[in-house]
Structure formats: structure tokens, C-alpha cells
């Protein structure tokens, strides 16, 4: 079946450094790619998303890049802060669905002060 692979599963950085999380997807019909941040005991929170007609999108310290040919997309967080520590999930829309997102397994990001 369709899947989304996410790497790394854990990532530890020093405060102020950059963090990069990478995902690959298998469904060539995927056209929507959101990223979610999940803190302990809470639901996932949308932090940025990108559609297939765009190669890059930036929002303050967060950016996402998409390479449709290679079927991969990445999240870049610059100038990391301790409050960025959380689990991050990438997702890709599933085929012709307008409601089904396929999520990666998550990356636990730890930012050390």
C-alpha cells in the first residue's frame, strides 16, 4: 500500500542550530504535504504545508521543500529553540482522496539549551 517514510526517528541539536527532517512518499498522485508538531498529551498541530505546484515555502524559522520527481520533501527549522522540542510528523495526501492523509512515523526532536 501507499506509505510515507520519515527520517531520522530521533534528532538532537543544540539550541540555535538547524534541524532537517526528511520524508519520502510512494503515491505519485499525492499533491498535498503538511507537517505537524505534536507535544506530549496533545493532538498534532499543523505548522506548515505545501502543495505539489510549489517547490518551497517558508514561514519565519520553518521552511519546507518538495521534490516531486524524487518524491521527497523536507522540513527545515533554523535557529532552534528549546520549545521546538516535540515529535514532528510529515504526511502526504492519498491518491484521489480529499480526506485521507498518510502520516510518517514521526521524528522526536530534542533541542538542548
Partner 1 sequence: DTGVSQDPRHKITKRGQNVTFRCDPISEHNRLYWYRQTLGQGPEFLTYFQNEAQLEKSRLLSDRFSAERPKGSFSTLEIQRTEQGDSAMYLCASSLGYQGFHGYTFGSGTRLTVV
Binding residues for partner 1, rule: CB under 8 A, are 4, 6, 31-32, 34, 36, 41-46, 49, 89, 91, 93-94, 97-106
Q: Could you give the CA distance from residue 5 to residue 27 in angstroms, rounded to a whole number?
A: 12
> Closer CB to partner 1, residue 84 or residue 106?
106
φ and ψ at 92, to 5 degrees?
Answer: -135, 140
Residue 14 or 53 with smaller CB distance to partner 1: 53
Q: Please say which residue, 26 or 100, places its beta carbon nearer to partner 1.
A: 100
For partner 1, give the closer residue by CB, 40 or 113: 40
- In whole angstroms, what is the distance from residue 66 CA to residue 111 CA? 25
Cα gap 74→97, rounded to integer Å? 22
Whole-number minimum distance, CB 20 to partner 1, in Å?
19
Q: Rg (Cα) of the chain, in Å, rounded?
A: 14
CB of 14 to partner 1, least distance (A): 25
CB of 67 to partner 1, least distance (A): 19
Amino acid at each position: 500500500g501507499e506509505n510515507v517514510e520519515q527520517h531520522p526517528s530521533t534528532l538532537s541539536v543544540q539550541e540555535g542550530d538547524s534541524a532537517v527532517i526528511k520524508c519520502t512518499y510512494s503515491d505519485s498522485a499525492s499533491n498535498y504535504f503538511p507537517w505537524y508538531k505534536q507535544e506530549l498529551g496533545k493532538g498534532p498541530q499543523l505548522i506548515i504545508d505545501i502543495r505539489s505546484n510549489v517547490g518551497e515555502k517558508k514561514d519565519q524559522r520553518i521552511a519546507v521543500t518538495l521534490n516531486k520527481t524524487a518524491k521527497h520533501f523536507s522540513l527545515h527549522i533554523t535557529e532552534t529553540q528549546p520549545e521546538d522540542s516535540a515529535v514532528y510528523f510529515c504526511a502526504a495526501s492519498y491518491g484521489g482522496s480529499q480526506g485521507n492523509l498518510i502520516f510518517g512515523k514521526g521524528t522526536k526532536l530534542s533541542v538542548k539549551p
